[in-house]
Amino acid sequence: MSDESAWEKLKSYTDARIALGRSGGSLPTSELLKFRKDHALAKDAVWTELDVKLLEREIEGLQLSIVKLSSQAADRLAYIKRPDFGRKLDQESIARIACFPKTEHDISIILADGLSAQAISLHAIPFLKEFLPTISAYSLAPICLVNQGRVAISDEIGELFSSKISIILIGERPGLSSPYSMGIYLTYNPKAGNTDEKRNCISNIRTGGLPYSYAAGKLAFLTSEALRLKLSGVNLKDTFDSQLLKNDNRKQ
């Protein structure tokens, strides 16, 4: 196999920029234009605002109660410049949660824009349609829609709703091949001030990445294990893939 055909075969397995070719000492014009386009999409993803009204209508279609919240970042510029503001609720949002009955819940589900609001607009509802039937035995707090939110804001929300687990769906940092990728973080016993080793993460949920059904199955497994063992993060071992492999072998 020639070097050229070997690179082309490898290229078929990845979105990474390999085997781009060259024109003299530079990239071909077509590849340069693709790079500029992808760079522009990544930049736009960071600055795009979350379409809360659209998500609200879609979640209402799932027969779920909703509460709209905001972080302490007043706008997108503050969110980018001050990550700490995105990790805490503003006072109005805290008061809004306080209006709900003081009831313990198994799970709080949060949708936040993160660094790619479009990722949430594209993937959150299709994912929830796969995931919600797998957790029908558990009690849910109202679904939270958070403007200018970062991952850690899920700790404060879960604590205020007296939830055993908080799950946040959030737009991931855009890449040049994946500007609209969604990530999910699960935390058992959510409390303000938790650190990242207490979370489990499922990343790269997007077209060309993790399918909704697979991500929903993995999250359902982690949720049940977290509730059973009363822990999450580095202490919660993710054996989901090995169990899938065992089940496949049994079928064969």
State the binding site for adenosylcob(III)alamin: 151, 172, 201
Residues with Cβ within 8 Å of residue 139, at least 6 apart in sequence: 104, 105, 106, 107
- The b-or-e profile of 35-60 (16+ CB within 10 A means b, else e) is eeebeebbeebbebebebeebeebbe
- The b-or-e profile of 239-252 (16+ CB within 10 A means b, else e) is ebeeeeeeeeeeee
Instruction: Provide the annotated binding site.
Output: 151, 172, 201
Note the Cα 162 to chain centre separation in Å: 22
